[in-house]
C-alpha cells in the first residue's frame, strides 16, 4: 500500500461493518489490565506508508500492521509519552480546478516526548478519526492520578520494596556503615541514629515538616544540631537547606545541594545559621589538624538570572559572607529554554529523517544529503549542524559543569555546594553527574539505581510537573479508598485541558531526558567505565516516559508516600532486572572493565563535545543509522555474525564427524566382505576339486552322474544344472541371473545311473578297476550280473539331499576361475 493513493482500492463505506470484529483478536497484544477503548481500521501510518489497525487503549496508542499483524513500534506510543496531538486536513491537488470535490486526507498528528512525530491517515466519511481523537482527549490527560494505568494495573509481579529503606542503605554506604542492618520501623518513626566522625543521619524531616520536597532522612554535619538546621532552612527557598548528597570516604570533601538563598533585591540579607551550616561542610583536612578546605558555591544559573531572582526575594550568595568560598556561575538555562530547544531538535530530526511525518522523501531517503553534508553513520553531526536547536550546546554546558565540580572535589579535596533557583532541576543534573564521575559504584547497574533514587526521587525532582502528568491531590488521606474505587470501576475521564491540541503545560520540560543524554555522552567517552549499556539507558528512559511504573509518579517522596504509590504500583527496577536475567542481555556493557576505571573520571574539556545519541535521537527519524550508530551496536552486530558463523562451523564439524564415522564403518564392512569373499572362494575351489574327484571315482565304477533340480520345469533350460564334463578342471560358467532365479530352499537331485554293460565291458580301465575292487571276484572271472556286485545294469540309485550351500558356491565359481 503506497500512501493515500492506495486507499481507493478499499471499500471504505463498508470498513466499519467488515472489520468491526477485529478488536476481538487484540488480547494477544495487550498487557495486563490493558483495554481497548477506541479503534480505527485500515489506518495508514504516513511516515512509512503502512496500513493497519490503530487502537487506543487505557495505556497506549497501539498500531498493528494489516498484513503481518505485528506491532509497529513507530506507530505505538504510550499515552503519557504523547506531548500533544492535533487534527489535520490535507487537500490533494491531483485534480486541478476541482478543489471543492478534491479528495482530502484526514490526518492525525501525534508528537511524542521521545523525539518522534507520527501522522496517521484516515479516509473521509468513516468517523474513525473522531473516535480516536476523542479517546486520546480523555485518556492522555487524566484529571487525577488514580486514573493512571500503573495504578489500575497494580504491582503485578514487579512488587516494589520500601524506597526509603533503599535510600537509608545508600546513606550508610556513604558513611562507611554499610554493614549495619536497619529496620524500616526505625526509619518511619525517626529513631535511627547513625553517624561517623564528620557526618550524621538526621531524622528531623521524618514528618516532612522541615521541607516537603526533601527526603525524610538527611545527611548533615555532625557538629550542627537539629535546632540549627531548622533555623538554617528558613533562609533557603522552599526550605531546601544545604545538605550532603555525596561525601569522599578518604578526604572528607562533600557534594552538597540546596536552593537559592533568600538574600533579597539588595543582596544584603544574611543568616548566621545558614553560614554556619555551609562552613561545617568544609571540615579541616588531615583529620582536623590541617587547614580548612576551600568551599566552592556553584550556581547553575546564568549570573543575570540569579540577579533577577533577587527581585522575587531570591538571589545568590556573597563570597564575603561565607568563609574561604568562591562563587561560580555555570550559565545553564531554565526549563523553558530546554523545552523549546528539545522541540526544535525534534522538528529538525523529523524534517531530515528517513521516516518524516509528511510522508515525503527527505534528504536521507534520497541518499544525496546528510546533516551538514557529512557522514551521519560516523557521528559527524555536531553542534553547528543541528540548525538552531542548541540542544547539544545545553548538553555540553551541563557536562562541563559536572566535570568542573568533580575535578574540584577530587583534585583539590574541596567541598562544593550546588544550587539553582529551587534546587531540583539543574542542581540535580549537576550533583548526580558529578557523583557519577567521582564514584565508580554509581556506574554499575545497582549503583545507578541508588543514584537516581537518591538525587532525583528522594530530593524531590518534580517528575509529575516535568512529564505533564497528574500529581498527588492536596488531600491524600483517603488515597487508598480512592485507589480501590478506581480499580473496581472505571471512573469517568475528562480532559484536563480545554484545547484540543493539548499543548504542553508550562512546567513540563525534558530535564531528566537531558540528564540521561549526558550520561550517554559519558558512556561514549568512557565505554569501559560503565556496567550498563546505551540500550539500557534507552529502555530505562522509555519506562520513565511511559509511566507504566509508579516510581516516577508525583513530585516528591512525601507525595508518593501519602498516595501509597510503592504499595499499589509496579517497580521499574524489578522489571528491568527481570529483563536482564541473562548475562548476555543488551543492558550489559560488553566493554565494561571495573579494574580499569576503578577511580574518578576527570574528562578533559575537549572530550566533552557532545554528539547525537544515535540509539535515542535517531531511532525514529533514522532507524537504520540508530542501529549501527554506536561502537557497541557495531560490536554486537559483529558478535551476532560471529555467533552465527560459529554455529555453522559447529554444525559442519558434527556433519564431518558423522561422515568420518560412516566412512570408518563402511571401511570395516568392506574389509569383512573382502575376507568373506576370499574365504568363500577358497571353499568353492576346495569343494569343486572334491566334487570333481568324487565324480571321477563314481565314473570309474561304471556309473554316470546327472544333476537336476526337483523344483524346476524340465522344459525350462535354466532349471537344468549343466553337467561337469570329464577332464574339466574349473567350475562351469554360470549366468549370474541363475542365482537370482534359483530358490534358496530348492533341493538338488543327484542321479547316479549305471553305464551300459557294453560300455563297461569295453572299457578296459573300468574292468580292471572292477576286478580289483570287487569282493565277489572268483577264479572264473566276473559273474556280473548274477553276483552281488556294484554294477546293477540299467537300475539306478537315487540320492536326494539339500545342496543349498554347495549350489550357491557353484553359481559363483566363475568369479574365481581355476587354479
Do residues 600 and 411 lie in contact, with contact meaning Cβ atoms separated by under 8 Å? no
Do residues 276 and 224 lie in contact, with contact meaning Cβ atoms separated by under 8 Å? yes
Q: List C-alpha distances in Å: 653 to 608, 642, 650, 658, 661.
A: 49, 16, 5, 9, 12
What is the C-alpha to C-alpha distance for residues 409 and 691, in angstroms, rounded to an integer?
113
Do residues 771 and 778 lie in contact, with contact meaning Cβ atoms separated by under 8 Å? no
Do residues 782 and 774 lie in contact, with contact meaning Cβ atoms separated by under 8 Å? yes
Tell me whether residue 770 is one of the annotated catalytic residues.
no
The single residue of 420, 518, 547, 703 carrying the catalytic annotation is: 420
What is the C-alpha to C-alpha distance for residues 334 and 507, in angstroms, rounded to an integer?
11
Burial class for 63, CB neighbours closer than 10 Å (0-12, 13-18, 19+): buried
What is the C-alpha to C-alpha distance for residues 119 and 548, in angstroms, rounded to an integer?
24
Residue 26 dihedral angles phi and psi, to the nearest 5°:
-90, -10
Q: How many CA atoms lie within 13 A of 618 on its CB side?
A: 25
> Which residues neighbour 428 within 8 Å (Cβ) at sequence distance 6 or greater?
257, 455, 456, 459, 461, 511, 515
624: its cell numbers? 537504520
Q: Name beta bridge partners: 51.
A: 44
What is the C-alpha to C-alpha distance for residues 723 and 463, in angstroms, rounded to an integer?
112
Closest by Cα among 604, 605, 627 to 616: 627
Do residues 224 and 202 lie in contact, with contact meaning Cβ atoms separated by under 8 Å? no
61: enclosing H helix or E strand: strand 60-65
Closest by Cα among 304, 527, 518, 318 to 429: 518
Catalytic residues: 420
Amino acid at each position: 500500500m503506497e500512501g493515500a493513493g492506495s486507499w481507493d482500492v478499499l471499500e471504505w463505506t463498508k470498513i466499519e461493518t467488515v472489520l468491526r470484529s477485529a478488536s476481538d483478536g487484540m488480547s494477544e497484544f495487550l498487557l495486563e489490565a490493558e483495554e481497548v477503548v477506541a479503534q480505527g481500521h485500515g489506518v495508514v501510518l504516513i511516515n512509512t506508508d503502512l496500513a493497519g489497525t490503530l487502537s487506543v487503549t487505557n495505556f497506549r496508542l497501539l498500531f498493528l500492521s494489516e498484513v503481518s499483524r505485528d506491532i509497529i513500534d513507530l506507530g505505538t506510543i504510550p499515552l503519557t509519552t504523547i506531548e500533544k496531538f492535533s487534527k489535520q486536513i490535507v487537500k490533494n491537488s491531483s485534480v486541478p480546478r476541482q478543489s471543492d470535490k478534491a479528495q482530502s486526507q484526514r490526518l492525525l498528528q501525534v508528537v511524542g516526548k521521545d523525539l518522534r512525530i507520527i501522522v496517521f491517515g484516515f479516509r473521509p466519511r468513516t468517523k474513525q478519526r473522531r473516535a480516536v481523537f476523542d479517546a486520546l482527549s480523555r485518556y492522555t490527560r487524566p484529571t487525577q492520578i488514580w486514573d493512571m494505568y500503573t495504578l489500575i494495573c497494580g504491582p503485578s509481579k514487579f512488587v516494589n520494596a520500601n524506597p526509603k529503606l533503599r535510600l537509608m542503605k545508600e546513606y550508610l554506604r556513604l558513611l562507611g556503615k554499610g554493614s549495619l542492618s536497619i529496620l524500616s520501623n526505625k526509619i518511619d518513626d525517626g529513631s535511627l541514629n547513625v553517624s561517623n566522625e564528620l557526618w550524621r543521619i538526621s531524622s528531623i524531616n521524618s514528618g516532612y515538616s522541615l521541607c516537603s520536597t526533601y527526603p525524610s532522612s538527611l545527611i548533615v554535619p555532625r557538629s550542627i544540631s537539629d535546632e540549627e538546621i531548622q533555623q538554617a532552612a528558613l533562609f533557603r527557598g522552599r526550605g531546601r537547606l544545604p545538605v550532603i548528597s555525596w561525601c569522599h570516604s578518604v578526604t572528607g570533601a562533600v557534594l552538597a545541594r540546596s536552593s537559592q538563598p533568600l538574600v533579597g533585591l539588595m543582596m544584603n540579607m544574611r543568616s548566621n545559621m545558614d553560614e554556619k551550616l555551609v562552613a561545617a561542610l568544609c571540615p579541616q583536612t588531615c583529620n582536623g589538624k590541617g587547614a580548612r578546605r576551600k568551599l566552592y558555591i556553584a550556581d547553575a544559573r546564568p549570573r543575570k538570572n540569579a540577579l533577577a531572582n533577587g527581585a522575587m526575594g531570591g538571589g545568590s550568595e556573597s563570597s564575603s559572607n561565607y568563609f574561604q568560598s568562591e562563587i561560580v556561575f555555570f550559565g545553564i538555562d531554565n526549563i523553558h529554554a530546554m523545552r523549546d530547544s528539545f522541540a526544535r531538535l525534534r522538528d529538525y530530526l523529523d524534517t531530515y529523517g528517513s521516516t518524516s511525518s509528511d510522508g515525503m522523501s527527505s534528504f536521507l531517503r534520497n541518499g544525496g544529503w546528510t546533516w551538514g553534508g557529512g557522514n551521519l553513520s560516523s557521528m559527524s553531526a555536531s553542534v553547528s549542524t543541528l540548525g538552531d536547536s542548541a540542544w547539544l550546546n545545553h548538553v555540553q554546558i551541563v557536562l562541563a559543569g559536572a566535570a568542573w565540580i568533580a575535578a574540584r572535589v577530587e583534585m583539590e579535596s574541596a567541598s562544593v555546594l550546588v544550587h539553582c533557583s529551587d534546587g531540583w532541576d539543574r542542581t540535580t543534573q549537576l550533583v548526580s553527574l558529578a557523583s557519577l564521575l567521582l564514584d565508580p559504584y554509581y556506574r554499575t547497574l545497582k549503583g545507578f539505581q541508588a543514584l537516581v533514587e537518591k538525587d532525583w526521587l528522594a530530593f524531590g525532582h518534580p517528575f509529575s510537573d516535568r512529564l505533564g502528568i497528574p500529581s498527588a491531590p492536596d488531600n491524600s488521606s483517603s488515597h487508598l479508598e480512592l485507589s480501590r474505587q478506581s480499580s473496581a470501576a472505571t471512573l469517568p475521564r475528562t480532559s484536563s485541558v480545554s484545547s484540543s491540541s493539548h499543548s504542553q503545560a508550562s512546567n513540563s520540560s525534558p530535564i531528566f531526558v537531558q540528564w540521561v543524554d549526558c550520561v550517554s555522552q559519558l558512556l561514549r567517552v568512557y565505554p569501559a567505565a560503565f556496567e550498563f549499556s546505551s540500550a539500557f539507558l534507552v529502555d530505562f528512559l522509555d519506562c520513565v516516559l511511559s509511566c507504566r511504573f509508579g516510581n516516577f509518579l508525583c513530585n516528591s517522596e512525601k507525595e508518593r508516600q501519602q498516595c501509597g504509590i510503592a504499595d499499589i504500583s509496579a517497580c521499574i527496577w524489578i522489571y528491568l532486572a527481570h529483563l536482564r536475567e541473562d548475562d548476555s542481555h543488551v543492558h550489559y556493557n560488553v566493554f565494561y572493565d571495573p579494574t580499569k576505571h576503578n577511580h574518578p573520571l576527570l574528562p578533559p574539556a575537549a572530550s566533552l563535545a557532545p554528539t547525537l545519541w544515535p540509539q535515542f535521537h535517531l531511532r525514529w527519524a533514522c532507524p537504520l543509522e540508530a542501529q549501527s550508530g554506536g561502537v557497541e551496536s557495531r560490536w554486537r552486530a559483529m558478535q551476532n555474525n560471529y555467533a552465527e558463523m560459529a554455529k555453522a562451523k559447529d554444525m559442519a564439524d558434527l556433519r564431518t564427524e558423522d561422515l568420518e564415522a560412516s566412512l570408518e564403518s563402511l571401511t570395516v564392512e568392506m574389509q569383512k566382505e573382502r575376507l568373506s569373499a576370499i574365504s568363500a572362494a577358497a571353499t568353492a575351489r576346495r569343494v569343486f576339486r572334491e566334487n570333481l574327484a568324487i565324480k571321477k571315482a563314481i565314473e570309474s565304477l561304471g556309473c554316470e552322474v546327472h544333476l537336476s533340480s526337483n523344483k524346476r520345469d524340465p522344459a525350462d533350460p535354466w532349471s537344468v544344472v549343466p553337467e561337469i564334463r570329464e577332464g574339466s578342471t574349473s567350475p562351469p560358467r554360470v549366468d549370474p541371473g541363475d542365482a537370482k532365479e534359483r530358490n534358496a530352499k530348492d533341493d538338488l537331485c543327484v542321479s547316479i545311473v549305471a553305464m551300459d554293460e557294453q560300455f563297461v565291458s569295453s572299457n578296459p580301465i573300468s574292468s580292471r578297476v572292477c576286478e580289483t575292487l570287487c569282493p565277489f571276484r572268483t577264479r572264473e572271472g566276473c559273474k556280473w550280473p548274477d553276483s552281488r556286485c556294484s554294477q546293477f545294469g540299467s537300475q539306478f540309485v537315487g540320492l536326494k539331499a539339500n545342496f543349498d550351500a554347495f549350489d550357491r558356491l557353484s553359481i559363483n565359481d566363475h568369479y574365481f576361475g581355476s587354479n
